Structure 1
């Protein structure tokens, strides 16, 4: 960091970077509305991870655990969907949050997109 007048600027930092520590999963109970009854503009968005020939399955599982706080079994199940089906929806919600999730996954080297089903 460097000071600029009375302000502080963070140089070269990523809000999604791995700091070496173990983050506790953050969970918030959410009631999902019935997607079919919502107008198109109110439907939730999804973050989709696509299969690639580069990342190891163990690494993708670890990323899902680290980024989303998923259990090993949930993360592995999603990773197997990515591997076998070519893609998996790993999170859903507001568009801005899904764009944030996709950006973080890009930081880990995964191929992720945001879609509205």
Structure 2
């Protein structure tokens, strides 16, 4: 006995792809000036949180002091939020901002 198998070709819906976040350069961590923290303290925090050397941390600190803000890191949103949280735990004023398209 031969049984005929009816083949119905059904098309599965195309999978919906979630938007892929760029690995780098999507969000910026910005340290803002405040009248509370000493310059040496800001340098020390930047060195501990980001692993900056003394010169780089001092450059960012001076930019914060003179311009009121400094972009200290750029990358994925989750990492940016973690860095901002760490900076805030050290009592620095920090925010994240989306990177502006070029």
Q: Identify the TM-score tier after normalising by the shorter chain.
A: 0.7 to 0.9
Q: Could you report, residue by residue, the CA deviation over 1:57-116 in whole angstroms, capped at 9, with x for unpaired residues?
A: 000000000110000000000000000000001111000100000000000000000001
Q: Offset at 1:49?
A: 0.3
Distance 2:76 2:60 in 1: 20
Which has the higher relative contact order, 1 or 2, with Cα contacts under 8 A spaced 6 or more apart? 2
TM-score by structure 2 length?
0.72
For residue 61 of structure 1, what is the aligned residue in structure 2?
A: 43
| Residue 107 of structure 1: aligned partner | 89
Shift of 1:44: 1.2
Give ranges in structure 2 of 5+ residues lacking alignment.
Answer: 1-20
Alignment RMSD: 1.1
Q: Which structure is larger by alpha-carbon Rg, 1 or 2? A: 2
Q: Which runs of 4+ in 1 moved over 3 A?
A: none
Q: Distance in 1 between matches of 2:45 and 2:76?
A: 21
TM-score normalised by the chain length of structure 1: 0.63
Deviations 1:7-56 (A, max 9, x none): xxxxxxxxxxxxxxxxxxxxxxxxxxxxxxxxxx6451000000000000
Question: Unmatched 5+ residue regions in structure 1?
Answer: 1-40
Corresponding pairs, count: 77
Instruction: Give the distance between the partners of 1:76 and 1:66, measured in 2 at CA.
Output: 13
CA distance in 2, matches of 1:106, 1:90: 14
- The equivalent of 1:94 in structure 2 is 76
Match in the other structure for 1:51: 33
